[in-house]
Amino acid sequence: MFFISDRYLKSLALIFSDRPPLKLIGDFFSFNFTANYNLAFSLPLKEPLLSVLVISVILCLGFCVLYLINKKTEQTIIIFLTLILLGALSNIFDRLTYGYVIDYWELKYFTVFNLADIMITGGAGVLIIKNLKHK
CA distances from 127 to 38, 62, 95 (A): 25, 16, 26
103 is catalytic: yes
117 is catalytic: yes
Stretch (H or E) spanning 56 = helix 49-70
Question: Which positions are catalytic?
Answer: 103, 117
